[in-house]
Amino acid sequence: MAGKRNLPPLEFYVPEPKFRPGDPVDFVHVNIPPAGAQPRPDEGCPAIETSPLCYDLVRVLGEDHQAVGPWNPRLDADTLREMLRVMARTRAFDDRMYRGQRQGKTSFYMKCTGEEATSVASAFALAADDMVFPSYRQQGILLARGYPMVEMINQIYSNRADRLKGRQLPIMYSARDYGFFTISGNLATQFPQAVGWALASASKGDSRIATSFIGDGSSAEGDFHAAMTFATVYNAPVILNIVNNQWAISSFSGFAGAERTTFAARAIGYGMAGLRVDGNDALAVYAATQWAANRARSNQGPTLIEHFTYRAEGHSTSDDPGQYRSAREAEAWPLGDPINRLKNHLCAIGEWTDEQHEAMDRELAEEVKAATKEAEKNGILGHGLHHPFHTMFEDVYEELPWNLKEQSEQAIRERRIKWPSWKEYEK
């Protein structure tokens, strides 16, 4: 023991982001390879062959706004315009709901500004009946699949038309008919759920696959590793997505391991196919998702995709990013804005103009405004227009036990005595 006294003391390391409020921003440490330089392996290749792509960055749109390389999905102009429109609709929706929260119409909201391509382009590459196990920034998938915007706003306002009867935090949608599993506030639970659903689909001989999304911070949860193990061992037909937007609320991605290696590289240790993708390049996201979906459908197993992107705004309406990161980070992000990049590509190939884009933005703003006004007829937060009081006792048991029946009757009776003017809402 005495001989060990000359050893240097052990040190405890705490990751530290490169920029803090007030710091100048320079992303020179982020390696951005040229677009089109990444090889596209066969969809049925052994998982080990994708290992280099776990450290690279799959890109399609170059600096000249042209689509290049083997990952170019060669989508027609109509599809590109529709993808652009859904991404722009998602942003317009976010902006309106953010203002609504600030006006007290709802308690909470989360925007996906700067991350629209990760959800919308993925949705375009999947089949309409593939099952999505989302996180809380995949509202673009619902909009891409045609889910009624009014229904989304009803849920956000928790009003009397909310299909979830006010039982979920705003933005935690559930839409079985649209292949959109209920969002959970418990981080990463959707990953093992997606794997289980995919295995059930395979056991029934179905053709539908599952996909799930988590953030970079959630990848540090135990559920992530459980999902990876089960997916690989049982060859689940599933796509597991990590949206690396650099921040988990106020904790930068280094706390989840980003300083040591890429998130996509975790696939290697599990023997799973992995891809690291430019998350602000809608064509690259589409191509990667399509590749992974084809692989899953042909019984070649799961794929882990890291979408390398940036959360341009706060984590939620409860967050002030100016307290923990430089205000210039978003504008300095080297991969740009996903909507602008797709717009510029369409303009470069002669299929879109700045004037058309401005007209589309105005049209979408009016569309979201009209949907909001329609939803507000059903009530907003705290204005009494909500589901009848008796519904709080429903949907737990197939047949309500006698003791809960007594409790519900007593609660409803006392409520009507105290607030007789609310009887009209109990119908």
* Alpha-carbon span 314 to 36, nearest angstrom: 32
Confidence class of residue 415 from pLDDT cuts 50, 70 and 90? confident
Instruction: Reply yes or no on whether the pLDDT at 303 is more than 90.
Output: yes
Tell me, what's the pLDDT at 419?
78
Confidence class of residue 304 from pLDDT cuts 50, 70 and 90? very high
Tell me, what's the pLDDT at 224?
98
The average confidence (pLDDT) of the chain is 95
Structure tokens at 55: 């450290």
One-letter amino acid at 23 equals: D
Question: CB neighbours of 325 closer than 8 A, spacing ≥ 6?
Answer: 17, 19, 20, 21, 247, 252
CATH T-level topology, domain 47-376: Rossmann fold (3.40.50)
- Residue 105 near residue 304, CB atoms below 8 Å: no
Half-sphere exposure (Cβ direction) of 300: Cα atoms closer than 13 Å = 18
Tell the burial category of 103 from Cβ atoms under 10 Å away from its Cβ (0-12, 13-18, 19+).
exposed
Tell me, what's the pLDDT at 426?
53
Mean pLDDT of 133-147: 98
- Each domain of the chain, given as residue ranges in start order, spans 47-376, 389-426
Please work out, in degrees rounded to the nearest 5, the angle formed at the alpha carbon of residue 253 by the alpha carbons of 252 and 255: 85
Tell me, what's the pLDDT at 383?
81
Which of residues 195 and 423 earns the better pLDDT score?
195
Instruction: Reply yes or no on whether the pLDDT at 236 is more than 60.
Output: yes
Tens digit of each residue's pLDDT (9 = 90 or more) over 201-234 = 999 999 999 999 999 999 999 999 999 999 999 9
Mean pLDDT of 13-27: 94
- Which SS3 state, helix, strand or coil, does residue 97 take? helix
Tell me, what's the pLDDT at 423?
57
Which of residues 422 and 281 earns the better pLDDT score?
281
Confidence class of residue 39 from pLDDT cuts 50, 70 and 90? very high
Mean pLDDT of 278-307: 98
Instruction: Reply yes or no on whether the pLDDT at 170 is more than 80.
Output: yes
Confidence class of residue 391 from pLDDT cuts 50, 70 and 90? confident
* Alpha-carbon span 357 to 371, nearest angstrom: 21
Tens digit of each residue's pLDDT (9 = 90 or more) over 89-121 = 999 999 999 999 999 999 999 999 999 999 999
Tens digit of each residue's pLDDT (9 = 90 or more) over 347-386 = 999 999 999 999 999 999 999 999 999 999 999 988 878 8
The percentage of the chain sitting over the pLDDT mark of 90, rounded to a whole number, equals 89
Q: Which helix (H) or strand (E) holds 303?
A: strand 303-308
Structure tokens at 213: 């999304």
- Which of 2-11, 196-205, 251-260 is predicted with the least confidence, judged by mean pLDDT? 2-11
Tens digit of each residue's pLDDT (9 = 90 or more) over 44-78 = 999 999 999 999 999 999 999 999 999 999 999 99
Confidence class of residue 422 from pLDDT cuts 50, 70 and 90? low
Count of C-beta atoms within a 10 Å radius of residue 174: 15
Burial string for 339-370 (b: 16+ CB within 10 Å, else e) reads bebbbbbbeeeeebeeeebeebeeebbeebee
C-alpha distances in Å from residue 64, one per residue of 57, 61, 107, 129, 342: 18, 8, 43, 36, 12
Name residue 307's beta-bridge partners: 243, 277
Tens digit of each residue's pLDDT (9 = 90 or more) over 248-270 = 999 999 999 999 999 999 999 99
Tell me, what's the pLDDT at 42?
98
The percentage of the chain sitting over the pLDDT mark of 70, rounded to a whole number, equals 97
